[in-house]
Structure 1
Amino acid sequence: EGTVVIAGVGGDRILEILEALDGNGYLTADRLVLSPHKDERVFVEKFSEGLGKRWRLSEPLSVRESGRERPIWVADR
């Protein structure tokens, strides 16, 4: 239940966090809001190969922050 937000770290780190939560049975949220600040392509590819089998990943939204475009993905079960 609920929503998990992970932002401000690299795409690989986001995946490590999610996989650890999932592996220990703690990833019970219905929605994920994810904003990697680097390694975006790797994040999307690896998410799709692993967790993406159980989560639907949206097209990225774009938010401007400190002069930079930051992608934000939403994933729903």
Structure 2
Amino acid sequence: MFDGREIKPKYGATSHNTWLFDGREIKPKNGATTHNTWVVDGQKIKPKSNATSASTYDINGEPILVAFGQLILKLW
């Protein structure tokens, strides 16, 4: 679910499986560091720290939630 600021599961949401989105950065609600924070840059999502072409993903015009979900599935 997305309430405009938080991305979390519909059922069983806790602060440990909730992400915050401020329009530019996506980061865990608890324990956010530069290493687990992602930046939305135009049509790309990339790590805030140590971004490379291999770790940068195209949004391809998808809504941010769809693109972020696809990214999580690729990394998981």
Same fold at TM > 0.5: no
- When normalised by structure 2's length, the TM-score is 0.28
- When normalised by structure 1's length, the TM-score is 0.27
Question: Is the helix fraction higher in 1 or 2?
Answer: 1
Question: Is the strand fraction higher in 1 or 2?
Answer: 1
Structure possessing the higher relative contact order (Cα contacts under 8 Å, 6 or more residues apart): 1
